[in-house]
Amino acid sequence: MALPMNEDEVSCNVKLSVLPAHVAIVMDGNGRWALQRHLPRVAGHRAGVEAVREVVTVALEQAISAVTLFAFSSENFSRPLQEVNFLMKLFSTVLEREVDKLHKNNVRLRVIGDRQRFDNRLLASIEQAELLTENNTALTLVLAVNYGGRWDITQAVQRIAQSVAKGDIKPEAITPDHISSCLSLYDLPEPDLFIRTSGELRISNFLMWQLAYAELYFTDTLWPDFNRQAFMQALQSYQLRDRRFGLTAEQILNA
């Protein structure tokens, strides 16, 4: 859970000294945010876009190298068709509207997930955004759309099995690094910090392989209310974590 910090203890405009290189976030609570205000659920999804902007702004200011946002899970396709269609349309519209801003701020955009259920407009928006920003270096912003951790591992295993069948690799040569190289985030460091909003205490099939050693941070804040201060509080909580990766504290001190 989030560490109990008072608002006056959270400095929002300073450069932090110990930072995660990669932050992964489950953006949860849009629907509840809207229902609390007697608004349709889609209003919460619209409001959540501003929280994404806040996270990107802080990540750029703090020189975080990568942020991965869980925008839409493969399980979300089971939601009411009207909401699914709205989310896909909103995603396409936001991509088209925001990509130039991202590019001007030297942000590289990537989309991970199974694209087979995307319509032609969305596919075109994704491809154009990725192509435009592919050489940017200030921040890699990854949007996980129609993504699931089990899907990610399954497609990696299928690729490796094909290589084994062709004789390109022997089964005993398969290593964790080899599996990692076949996953969606093959070219990024594994997340150091995982954040989930809205009070839910689970990872919900998100980056199951890659989160093995991530620091977990849960907050009751609903995603549309996850502003600069809330993100900075999560980053400051990360600074207090003792990361040992299976080693003893003495080994870390003597390294």
Catalytic residue numbers?
A: 28, 76
Q: How far is CA 114 from CA 90, 111, 157, 240, in A?
A: 18, 10, 15, 36
Q: How far is CA 254 from CA 80, 249, 250, in A?
A: 55, 9, 6
Q: Which residues pair with 139 in a beta bridge?
A: 107
User: Is 135 in a helix, a strand, or coil?
Assistant: coil
| Spatial separation of the C-alpha atoms in residues 45 and 83, rounded to whole Å | 10
Beta strands 107-112 and 193-196, pairing class = unpaired
- The tokens of 168 are what? 């390109």
Give CA angle at 55 (21, 128), nearest 5°.
90
- The tokens of 88 are what? 């896909």
| Spatial separation of the C-alpha atoms in residues 215 and 25, rounded to whole Å | 12
